[in-house]
Structure 1
């Protein structure tokens, strides 16, 4: 055991001040961080409790968008009237993500920062993990890799981002608002998470000492035709083998705009604008959906145990698009 100092911030300014001390981490719901601390994967010297600094409100933005405070609980967000009616894709993804107990504790900001569930990362008995011990190697590449990435991998890492919420936010073009020692900045969700490259230990573009304050959603374009499909080994409390967030703007049977984001296949939510553009201006059918799936999965590479995920992802994309087209509901 090692000692941990604990501080409780009273506002965002005090949180930013306290976290500047060496080896400090923010803690909100703690549903991921505490697990990592129990397994000795994370060893912070100081925890800064941010549960009392506000940032839990969900409010409308000028122009029709929505601001979700970083400390809004996943369950509160999923069941908020404006989220359910304007962004049902987000509600679907959040409800698919975890047990009710975890959703009642987990925060939107914490969900953005979820670390991979790769067993070589989560279990310190495995010496080889470049995310946990840079330079040690990637045990998953030649090990058990059924749940691992097929897109955006590197020699250093084939882990996947485990979040369902992140996939929906990627399809909805969310923007992450952060505050830090150098001031505030806005980060488009597709730029927030990183591919592993040679530095897989760095999951996001957050700078040391920065605090997520909210997630902003643009005015809703996809309130009617959306579907979140999560393919997993069991329906209860399991991470995705492949997930698809599909959102369509349809008028007169013709797709005007489309968004498709994949989860469970890469170190970050995966989108390909060319695949979405292929659908725009056309009636949706399985042939066009298959073509879009092929573009979205271009360059996919499987490993010993997970090659099946390429075909699984192709079929999941087609099914999710079909379900989104057929779904004309305004709420989840």
Structure 2
């Protein structure tokens, strides 16, 4: 087992694009670390650079205290599971799993025993003689994981391994993957553009954009306190409300409500700000203090619904309610944030502070 240290790591393509831009990151031994971000943000390139499949333009990669920046991939003691699993179609499951041992010229008896032991732990014992084309997507994923485990690597690298599965299989595979990583204790770096996967699986999440890390923290930290409007927009199954406001007399006026917050106390009147509230952290009621509006849309999400209020100034505010609490279209309601769940961002999109108290303007 081994931790990963990235020091000033950059990967620049021949066309000048900086896919990875001067990253300094420490990943602990045994940690489940997620790289999260939109397509093209550099997360897969970073994973491939750690694996040695992409050359680092500058900086260093250390695995287990050993500088592997210029070490070929096969000698880095890393195992990688690709998005398409990269199984050999002409080989059986047993042969696919044992392939790393075959490359190392291990005895056939050991190749078979490792394939049998690894497949049994992943629920593949009865499939050893099948070929990948005879397997379901979930089974192919487990074969790819079994092959990675058979390499006896120090680090496991996963490039969106759940993206080819249907919704039900993704949930099952997510639970399986979390249990497997915990049982093995392998340092794991997981690439995904799906924030629900990152929140469910990771010990820590790095949210990437344009080759840089915009926020690094635990799933709870990144979800509850995104440090920028970029992260706030990206994290959450329902988008965070980002409401334009202005500072007046040490408070924030936003969508017909007045927000008193220490973050605004030192700002001059007229300073533009953005107030951020997750729909999950808003309560709807017919009266009280909060953001007033009329119900314009109700979207069923299963056990909950997303209610959109249209405020007098045209601002739209989303709030989630339980399915049996769905309001009527057109009804007048007040959206009140839960204590401590109101975030304030500056005009540059960076977090200024938080509050939980709203009063009517």
Q: Choose between structure 1 and 2 for higher RCO, CA contacts under 8 A separated by at least 6 residues.
A: 1
Q: TM-score, normalised by structure 2?
A: 0.23
Q: Quick check: which one's strand share is greater? A: 2
Q: Which of the two has higher C-alpha Rg? A: 2
TM-score, normalising length: structure 1? 0.25
